Amino acid sequence: MTANTPRTAGRHFLQIPGPTPVPDRILRAMDMPVLDHRGPEFQRLGKRVLENIKGVFKTKNHVFIYPASGTGAWEAALTNVLSPGDKVLMFETGHFATLWKNMALKLGIEPVFISSDWRTGADPEALEQKLREDKNHEIKAVCVVHNETSTGCVSPIGKIRKAIDAAGHPALYLVDTISSLASIDYRHDEWGVDVTVSGSQKGLMLPPGLSFNAVSEKALKASKTSKLPKLFWSWEEMIPHNKNGFFPYTPGTNLLYGLDAAIDMLNEEGLENVFARHDRHAEATRRAVRAWGLEILCRVPEHYSSSLTAVLVPDGHNADDFRGRVLDAFDMSLGTGLTKLQGKVFRIGHLGDTNDLTILGALCGVEMGLALAGIPHKEGGVQAAMQYFAAQAGKPRSIAAE
Ligand SMILES: *Cc1c(COP(=O)(O)O)cnc(C)c1O
């Protein structure tokens, strides 16, 4: 804030699909003196978070933690298991899948990109067919974004595992869960994922600056023969240090205090209840959008995201002008349309540390903003969400979303 910026009272409504609002308890947990990252106190913290983070990924295997944004963990996943010229199968689910594909190209990997209209998740049948055609097993990995944050479409990770198995193909399975981990049901071990990529600033409720690779035995084995250059991202460099709770370089010490608190909070609520809460907030948001008479970008209901909803604005209107009006009038940030979708959609983030009334506040801001921006719509979206929340409130928490 500059001295010339007038103070805005109350909390800013950060309703973008990440970074998400950081709970006070996590802010307090990080408000600590910086400590010696080679000393005994850090060692206890390091051991604790390296062990406890496994539960969030639903894995018994190792999880690597990097002092980096999610993009770093993408690069770590690719460089640790692949070699120059390797073919990888990727799905064009949206902006983030496209960025990951562009990274693969830069690294000297050869992506085979299955295109889509950015309104659905990845298709297991298309994947199975491509893998069956690959008789010589030239494809070394399948890469999928679980929750495509640019579109609000989720890919069926368990079904894609089954499709890889049905094709009898040995490719590694790499999944980006940056905006789904701790928001949407995810099972690293059960779904046979080889590398799960994630980040701190979305469902984990932390500031940006940490990212993750959860790995399988098969991925660790592949890393022994992978030839892409890596040092900062190298699992091999990390493993001997992690065994004792340490890192080969300075880790994000204070963010790790925050991670420790975030894992406790998720476990206290119960992961299944966290998922049910996200499902409920997503359903309320979709009911509001439908009542306004606007269109949800995701056209396949089974692929609806519980982390965010992308909403199309009618032709002749600009979603970013609308977002600007909402920010000025109500101090709320909504997600912008990315690349192909710029000006065409706005995104309502409903992930992280939110509750029913926060979501209603956000929906109030959207409904008032639609009127201010002159976007044709019907009233009653907030009312529809209120009715849904009120009806759900009497039910046991973990069943409420069903
Ligand atoms: C946010 C996001 C990214 C990028 O992560 P950064 O932390 O910005 O590097 C990648 N993939 C998905 C699905 C995301 O939501």
How many residues are there in the chain?
402
Q: Would you call 299 helix, strand, or coil by DSSP?
A: coil
User: Is the four-CA dihedral 354, 385, 290, 271 of positive or negative sign?
Assistant: positive
Q: Is the pLDDT of residue 400 over 50?
A: no
pLDDT for 383 equals: 98
Q: Is the pLDDT of residue 381 over 60?
A: yes
Residue pLDDT, tens place only, 75-115: 999 999 999 999 999 999 999 999 999 999 999 999 999 99
Q: Is the pLDDT of residue 402 over 60?
A: no
Residue pLDDT, tens place only, 202-238: 999 999 999 999 999 999 999 999 999 999 999 999 9
- The CA–CA distances, whole Å, from 384 to 277, 288, 365, 402 equal 17, 6, 15, 17
Residue pLDDT, tens place only, 52-83: 999 999 999 999 999 999 999 999 999 999 99
Contact 298, 305 (CB under 8 A): yes
Domains of the chain, CATH where assigned: 13-19+270-393 (3.90.1150.10), 24-267 (3.40.640.10)
Give, in degrees to the nearest 5, the angle at Cα 122 between 176 and 153. 75
For ligand 1, mutation pick of 74, 149, 233, 338 (most atoms within 8 Å of CB): 149
Distance 168 CA to ligand 1 centre (A): 31
Q: How far apart are CA 90 and CA 113, in angstroms?
A: 5
pLDDT for 315 equals: 97
Distance 347 CA to ligand 1 centre (A): 15
Distance 74 CA to ligand 1 centre (A): 9
Q: Is the pLDDT of residue 398 over 60?
A: no
pLDDT for 304 equals: 98
Q: Would you call 390 helix, strand, or coil by DSSP?
A: helix
Beta pairing partners, 295: 312
Closest CA to ligand 1's atom 6? 70
For ligand 1, mutation pick of 74, 99, 179, 213 (most atoms within 8 Å of CB): 179
Only one residue has tokens 């094709």, namely: 167
Distance 182 CA to ligand 1 centre (A): 15
Is residue 383 within 6 Å of ligand 1 at its C-beta? no
The percent of the chain in helix, strand and coil, each rounded to the nearest 5, is 45, 15, 40
Q: Is the pLDDT of residue 387 over 70?
A: yes
Contact 383, 287 (CB under 8 A): no
pLDDT for 233 equals: 98
Give, in degrees to the nearest 5, the angle at Cα 75 between 265 and 59. 40
Only one residue has tokens 């802010």, namely: 27
pLDDT for 3 equals: 64
Q: Is the pLDDT of residue 365 over 70?
A: yes
Q: How far apart are CA 4 and CA 97, in angstroms?
A: 40
Q: How confident is residue 1, by pLDDT bands cut at 50, 70 and 90?
A: low
Residue pLDDT, tens place only, 3-39: 677 888 999 999 999 999 999 999 999 999 999 999 9
Q: Read off φ and ψ for residue 254, nearest 5 degrees.
A: -70, -30
- Range of weakest confidence among 2-6, 310-314, 318-322: 2-6
Only one residue has tokens 């999610």, namely: 70
Q: How far apart are CA 399 and CA 280, in angstroms?
A: 10
Is residue 96 within 6 Å of ligand 1 at its C-beta? yes
Is residue 70 within 6 Å of ligand 1 at its C-beta? yes
User: Model's pTM, two decimal places?
Assistant: 0.97
Q: How confident is residue 394, by pLDDT bands cut at 50, 70 and 90?
A: confident
Contact 353, 27 (CB under 8 A): no
pLDDT for 2 equals: 59
Over range 174-183, report the average pLDDT.
Answer: 98
Between strands 195-199 and 211-215, the pairing is antiparallel
Residue pLDDT, tens place only, 249-300: 999 999 999 999 999 999 999 999 999 999 999 999 999 999 999 999 999 9
Contact 178, 199 (CB under 8 A): yes
Over range 364-370, report the average pLDDT.
Answer: 98
Chain-centroid distance of CA 160 in Å reads 18
Distance 380 CA to ligand 1 centre (A): 33
Locate the ligand 1 atom nearest the alpha carbon of residue 211 and give its number: 7
Distance 136 CA to ligand 1 centre (A): 33
Mark the binding-site residues for substrate, compressed into ranges. 347
pLDDT for 5 equals: 78
What angle separates helix 70-81 from helix 217-225, to the nearest 10 degrees? 70
